[in-house]
Structure 1
Amino acid sequence: MHLMKMFKPNRVVALNLLWICGVVAEGFIPSSIKRCHLGDEACYKTQAQNYLEYYKYGIPEHNVPSIEPLKIGTLRSQIGGKDTPMQLNLLMTNTSAHHFGSSMVVKSLTIMATPDDLSKPAKTIMIMSSPLIDVTANYHLKGKFLILPIDSKGQVSIKLRQVDVNTVIDMLPEKRTDGLHYLKITGYKMTVETGSGSFNMTNLFKDPALSESTIKVFNDEYKTFSKELEPKIMEAATRATRETLQKVFDIIPFDDFFLK
């Protein structure tokens, strides 16, 4: 199952790329964290995981947001369509992805950069995984399911299991007025695959038994929902993580990313 076009700088991936290099302004890095030599992928992986844990609640003094939870905003999805059993429009607001900062495991990290020539672009490829991401939101579901008209509001929880995240980030060093170089993100692509998923909704119908049975059918037809919904989650998460990572890169000079 694919979550194409979605998921903040995860904020996870965003901060990770920085963390991977083990570089943050002086005073941010705990004594157990270190910078890495260029090409030391074992070091990248270790520092990325350490920083993911250390910065999951953000860097408030530099306006870098928390990734636990990862806030991905408002999502709109059309589920099913004409001549199908499901003809639904779903609006999700105040959407958050929980366990992004606490359960993600960095599987591998590759950095392609030329620190001796800061005019050349850089690229990072990161692979991460999580056993569970729980997406929560306020919802408004309107339309028709079989013969049942639906116009409901409440809370929704979408559980994504065995989540694998592959992120490719293209960057270009830019010289700023302080004479140092900072990374500007020029490309950011996140691909997510999930093993399975399920969801629950409050207040779907006034009749609790009808709500329970309808949600069961929805879960039995989860692939119909996921085909429309998961790409929206992916798109929002990608946008959020990219924005967060750029905020981090704006305060960390690229000149000092690696050990000499």
Structure 2
Amino acid sequence: MSRTLGLCVGVAATILLLAEDLKAAAPNKLPPGFKLCPRNDPTTSSCLEEAISVALHELASGLPEFGIPTLEPLEIPQLSIGDPNSNAPVNLKINFTDIRIYNISSAKSTNVKLDVDAFLISPHVEIDSIYAEAHYKMDGRILLIPAKGEGKVVFNLTNLHGDGAMTGEKIMKKNKEYLKVNDFSFELNHLDKLVLHFENLFNGDKTLGPTINNLVNENWMEIWSQLRVPLQEICGYSFREYARRLFDKVPLDDVFLVKAP
């Protein structure tokens, strides 16, 4: 198992443990705030675009009755980037811990495709801005300049786009058809800008700290190229566990209606 995959599994396990602690009941209907969509209908795609955005908004504060913890913020225990053997101009080994990501619930979905029989649902997702904060420990070089520090870091991401794909299979429980979610892959494929601010670089040096922060932000695409893959895998694993909790309790016909409402 890769280091990133192991981290993703750990995040998923954390979500499940939090959900178990809630000791939720087992409802068999979606909460009133959710939007229901028909299957195999000309309006299905446009309906799902709105339904996914509404669902993310509803998940912001969690769904205790489904054993689903809050989405705002999305919490990630740990994430590391950097290759100590790299000769790249930006060669920073950074360990992030206690990561909290805000504003995911504001995402808008477009161009949603659904195949209920397969089962496959694939949305395109866009988020205007994301704010995140974490604790960091950094060591390395950027453009041959040493960079070292430990403390708080703040991220601001602008105009983030991604494509998701949730796959599953139909199963029977209590004479009703349910969806067993098998996987949720997620690819982050567009970002306009990443701005980072590392506090306490070189123990708070007022000259070196701003210099390194400026260099990091001038070379933000190098940082993003290392953050993107582990971040998208963690998001995919997290959303898979959210979806499993939801679809495990609600019959398929009460999520994707046989007839339009």
> What TM-score do the two structures reach when normalised by structure 1?
0.79
> Do the aligned partners of 1:79 and 1:228 also contact (CA within 8 Å) in 2?
no
2:177 corresponds to 1:181:
yes
Identity of aligned residues (%): 19
Asked whether 1:106 is paired with 2:79, we answer no
Are 2:40 and 1:43 equivalent residues in the alignment? Answer: no
* C-alpha separation in 2, matches of 1:47 and 1:77: 35
Instruction: Quote the Cα distance in structure 1 between the aligned partners of 2:59 and 2:87.
Output: 48
User: How many residues are treated as equivalent by the alignment?
Assistant: 232
What does residue range 131-150 of structure 1 map to in structure 2 within 5 Å? 131-145=128-142, 149-150=146-147
Match of 1:228 among 221, 226, 229: 226
Cα distance, 1:100 vs. partner?
0.4
Query: Where does residue 17 of structure 1 map in the other structure?
Result: none
Out of 46, 50, 54, which is 2:58 matched to? 54
> In the alignment, is the contact (CA less than 8 A) between 1:80 and 1:224 conserved in 2?
no
Structure 2 contact 183–240 (Cα < 8 Å) conserved = no
- Provide the secondary structure at the position in 2 that maps to 1:208: coil
Cα separation, 2, equivalents of 1:29 and 1:94? 33
Q: How does 1:1-260 map to 2 (within 5 A)?
A: 25-26=28-29, 28-30=31-33, 34-38=35-39, 39=41, 40-78=44-82, 81-101=85-105, 103-114=106-117, 121-145=118-142, 149-176=146-173, 178-192=174-188, 193-205=190-202, 206-257=204-255, 258-260=257-259
State how far apart, in whole Å, the 1-side matches of 2:30 and 2:85 are.
54
Task: Specify every segment of 5 or more residues in structure 2 that has no aligned partner in the other structure, as ranges.
Answer: 13-26
The letter of the residue matching 1:70 is L
In 2, Cα distance between equivalents of 1:209 and 1:59: 47
Show structure 1 runs of 5+ residues with no match.
10-23, 115-120
What is the distance in 2 between the residues matched to 1:141 and 1:132? 25
Alignment RMSD: 2.6
